[in-house]
Structure 1
């Protein structure tokens, strides 16, 4: 049996939790990749995918809390989770510095996610052997 080479992935999630399967499918992939010995360079949230980084989601108790599941996974595996700043601001997702900058009443970014620009996506595409997109679908 031939040995498989280990990969370093960047995952890009563009679909929101509860309105698409993108975050759920990405998390299943991420867990399987780590279990197989692969590494994740980062998880980049873009478009509606930034809703995954909101600390204000509160699904019913009998549903999976995808934001908390992702936050736990990222912390447990020391994987950076990055929300695109332009997408985040358009959708009302802000960290403490953006809260102050725009004089908003509160911040709502779930740790360990950070807000950053598209440069993070570019770095991920350059640093990773594979970039996999998880879209909301058509």
Structure 2
């Protein structure tokens, strides 16, 4: 089965941890992930500047490692990202900000990418506050 996974909760939330474990189990079960989509506070999981306290799991780093290891399509809602200061080089330049903060493996795109992925998957599974 094909899945699209949408994460709305920040990287320090139980929702992020559950989403990552679900994604791992999905692939381990022989299923496919069409796209990982970050929206709302979920975009913080794509920030290269997230630093977890020493006594907590670094879920943002785990997400980066996961999408790199499995060569997954990781998309971050551009509107939500801009609002939260998660920028790629192009957006940082466009808005005159000192630097990019989007982590490796993620790309900024519109909400239409979530819609498209949901259409191409058998299931859309959402995690988070909204």
Indicate whether 1:8 and 2:2 are aligned. Answer: yes
2:11 aligned residue (5, 11, 17): 17
Deviation at 1:59, TM superposition (A): 1.2
2: CA distance, partners of 1:103 / 1:132? 36
Q: Equivalent residues in 2 for 1:31-46 (5 A)? A: 31-46=24-39
Runs of 4+ in 1 over 6 A off after TM superposition: none
Residue in 1 aligned with 2:40?
A: 47
2: CA distance, partners of 1:135 / 1:67? 15
- Structure with greater Cα Rg: 1
Deviation at 1:104, TM superposition (A): 0.7
Which sections of structure 1, spanning at least 5 residues, go unmatched? 1-6
Residue in 1 aligned with 2:50?
A: 57
TM-score (normalizing by structure 1): 0.91
CA RMSD across the alignment = 1.0
3-state SS of the aligned residue for 1:10? strand
Residue in 2 aligned with 1:70?
A: 63
2: CA distance, partners of 1:136 / 1:111? 25
Number of corresponding residues? 130
1: CA distance, partners of 2:18 / 2:129? 11
TM-score (normalizing by structure 2): 0.96
1:86 aligned residue (79, 84, 99): 79
Deviation at 1:62, TM superposition (A): 2.8
